Structure 1
């Protein structure tokens, strides 16, 4: 299967080893449940030559989750930030007994 990210006009310029999402050491960041790791993945996308194509492709496919083109996707839509798991306190001053 050929990926949108690997099929472009100038393959020398967009070789897989140059794309941050193709680095096996950080690949899990793009699908993390942790908001801080998703923000880190977004920052890795900042200098990617395919950022616009990646984001548009994810929108077209309705990607269910992950970081695509420097944006966080959830349920096929772009969201500004991912909330952490759990429920926030109703009263910030409330202390556990």
Structure 2
């Protein structure tokens, strides 16, 4: 059992969102799905431990602790595939 799982068992009985929903959501290609995963992480009882663990392990990609990792770096949001728009669109 990993350290995060042990911490969850010791500190909380609340289920973690990443264990309730499809795990693919935390590694989604769609920016909308990535934002949903980040939102679900906000109320997670082990969010801080998850994020610090991901930083220590240098996770290459995915949503960890409510933050998006791409190429091992935390980025604010996932850009959609293709060319960027010439005009900024309000999200």
Question: What TM-score bracket applies, with the shorter chain setting the length?
Answer: 0.7 to 0.9
CA RMSD of aligned residues (A): 1.8
| Structure with a larger share of its residues in helix | 2
Instruction: Give the alignment's TM-score, normalised by structure 2.
Output: 0.84
Q: 1:64 to 1:46 in 2, by over 3 A?
A: same
> What is the deviation of 1:31?
0.3
Higher relative contact order (CA 8 A, sep 6+): 2
Give unpaired runs (5+ residues) of structure 2.
none
- Look at both structures and tell me which one has the larger radius of gyration over its CA atoms: 1
C-alpha distance in 2 between matches for 1:4 and 1:77: 22
The residue aligned with 1:11 is 9
> What is the deviation of 1:56?
0.6
